[in-house]
Every structure is written in C-alpha cells, then in structure tokens.
Structure 1
Amino acid sequence: MNRNTMMKVGLCVWVLWLTGQAVAQSVRDTVRETVPQVQPALSGEAPPPGASVPGPTRTIGWEQLIPAGWDPYKDLKALNLDGLKDNDPKAEEALKKMRKMWDNAPINPLILGQSVRLPGYMVPLEDLPEGTKEFLLVPYFGACVHSPPPPANQIVHVVLDKPTKRFRLMDTLWVTGPLSATKTDSHMGVSSYRIDAKQVSPFVEKK
C-alpha cells in the first residue's frame, strides 16, 4: 500500500513520499520519522580552552532552558502505539497535538535577563552575500534540517550585531549574550528564546 506522510511543523514543512512500496508504514515508524527523539545536547559545563568571558556571564546547558516538571513526551506516553493501526486518525491527531504543544513549549523564567553562554549547532536563517546575521542555535546535530524541530524551548534565535561569514550550517558554536523570552516563528522552526550575541566562537569539547 502506498502512503504519503506529510507533517507541517510551524513553517518548516516535512514531506516524506513513500511511493511504490509493498508494505504500509506502521504508526511507530511514523512517530520516529515525524517526531524527533531528544538527542544528547552539547555539554555546557566547560568553557573552551583559552576563552574567557568577563562579567557575570553564566555558562549553561540546554536542560536549564526547560522549566522544572515539563515533559515533552507527555502526549506520546498517553498514546498506546501498539494498539493503533496504520493511518489511524487518533495517531495523526496525537502527533499534531504534540507538535502544537512543542511549538508553544514553556520557558524557564528563572534564567531570563541573564547573560548566558550556551553551546549548540548553527542553523542559518538567511543566505546573504555579506554573511549570516541571524540563525537558530539547536542542541543536537540535524535539528530543523535533517529532522523535525525540537521543542521551542530547545531552540534559540541568535541575532548578531554584524553579519559573519566565519560559520556555516551545523557548525558547533559557543554563543554569549543576554537571554530573553522572545518567540520567533521562522521557516526552520519555532524558538522560545533569543540571544543578542555579544560573542560567537567555535565550540571546543573538553578533553
């Protein structure tokens, strides 16, 4: 049985054409392909060698962007995938409901207004001759590009003072600047946070 699966995530459209196949895709496969499993994020505990950020800037990890007690998989846990058949409207409804919940994921008010330093992967929002001035910072490789966007509280909209040509898609970076609760709905995903970057540098893992 042929099946076309299409999920629209914010303004980021994911179309999976599965034509010419003899076996229908299961609901569980649909979940894996349309809902990202949270991947290990870059560690925010150790600064890169030789780097120093003056002042009260805090180096944070992605888990600190999530408010205590919020479960991104609450709706999926309540859904009995084993008991559903292919094309079950209950599965489609649950996935859409969870996507909507993720695009409106709550923020952690305790860290707003602080100068933070956060590691992540770069997803440019523009391709200009003078370089990139705005991009999304995401916690794991492929988010918003090779897989659907993570929850909005796991995406940060980064705005630079001046465009840069130094970094490219999926480069790993340290971004430093004040963190605000500014929601941005872009073609690559919905972000709950914004950093007006004062410093952007390559990410170097602690050895």
Structure 2
Amino acid sequence: MLLSRRQMISAAAASAALPRLASASTVMEITWDDLIPPGVPYSEIIGQGEIDEINDTWNPIYDENANKLNPLLNGTRIKMPGYIVPLDLNTKGVTSFILVPYVGACIHTPPPPPNQLVYVTTENPWPGDDLWEAVWVTGHMKHETQSTEIAETGYTLTAEAMETYVW
C-alpha cells in the first residue's frame, strides 16, 4: 500500500504530537521533600522560634528558606500523600483543605513552613468521616501563596482525584 505525500505528512505530524500529549497526562509522584527546592536542606527551612508564655505555645519564625518553592513543580500534574486539615466542610464532605505531612500538623502544633503546606480544592468532596486517614491527592500544582486562618501555604493544588493512602 502506497501512502500519498499528504498522508505521510499528516502521519508524521500526528506522531510528533503524541509525546507531548502523553507527557501532559503524566503524573509525577512526589514526596514532601520534593516541595523544598533542590539544594536547600530541610534543616534550613525550620527557622527559629519564640515562646509565647501567656498562651504557652511556641511560635515559629521562618526565614526566606521556608518560603522557597521548588520551581520544577509549578504547573505540574502531581500525586502526593498527606493528611487533611479541613477548611470547608459540609454534609457532603471536605471541598477545600490544607494537605499536611503528618497527623495534627496545624492543629495541635505550630504549622510547618509554607513550603511544606499545600492548599487543596476539589469539586468531589472527600467524606468527612475519613479525615484521619492518609490520602493520595492527584492534580495540578501551582506556586501560589494562600493565607488561611490556620497557616500560610506555598502551593495550591486543584485535585482531580483522591484516594485513601495504603501503606
């Protein structure tokens, strides 16, 4: 079977577009360490703190490293594990929350630095009775600072899918 010149050019153009389409749907599985920019050690994002003797709490004071974000993640489709700290909770479940690296972060302790917190929104609510379970969240991540009543976050994630994290 002989192909015309037009058919060969169309086939070449279509095959050239395939890698771009495949990469657009590729999900990068990341961990919390990946949120820190390459070359910045975790020990340098914690910062100093001060004791609030009146309220018996420790208030972290973060330096510029706590706000540095990983440039490789901006605009990337990712999948990451974490725990939910609900912000918007209704009878159907949670529609916005802060994804945190460990249970109790932001609730009973001072919040982690902004580059260790992800503000997540989802159209498909996560059930309110599963808030203590670790979850996988898949979606598009952006560098976008959010200020909430709980903490400052360095990343935002629009969730496409969520599932229980199985060890």
- Establish whether TM, by shorter chain, passes 0.5: yes
> What amino acid is aligned across from residue 141 of structure 1 in structure 2?
V
Matched, 1:140 2:102: yes
Q: What is aligned with 1:119?
A: 81
> What amino acid is aligned across from residue 187 of structure 1 in structure 2?
E
TM-score, length basis structure 2: 0.71
- Greater radius of gyration (CA): 2
Q: What is aligned with 1:162?
A: 124
Segments of structure 1 that go 5 or more residues without pairing to the other structure are 1-53, 77-86, 88-94
Q: What is aligned with 2:12?
A: none
Matched, 1:72 2:68: no
Q: CA deviation at 1:60?
A: 0.5
- Between the aligned residues of both structures, percent identity stands at 31
Q: Which has the higher strand share?
A: 2
Runs of 4+ in 1 over 4 A off after TM superposition: none
- Superposition pairs for residues 1-207 of structure 1, below 5 Å? 55-67=25-37, 68-70=39-41, 71-75=44-48, 98-101=60-63, 105-165=67-127, 168-205=130-167
The 3 A distance-change label for structure 1 pair 73 and 136 is closer
Which gives a bigger RCO, structure 1 or 2 (Cα 8 Å, sep 6+)?
1
TM-score, length basis structure 1: 0.58
Segments of structure 2 that go 5 or more residues without pairing to the other structure are 1-23
Tell me how far apart the structure 2 counterparts of residues 170 and 184 of structure 1 sit (CA, whole Å): 23
> What amino acid is aligned across from residue 121 of structure 2 in structure 1?
V
Tell me how far apart the structure 2 counterparts of residues 102 and 172 of structure 1 sit (CA, whole Å): 29
Using the TM superposition, name which of 123-132 and 108-117 deviates more.
Answer: 123-132
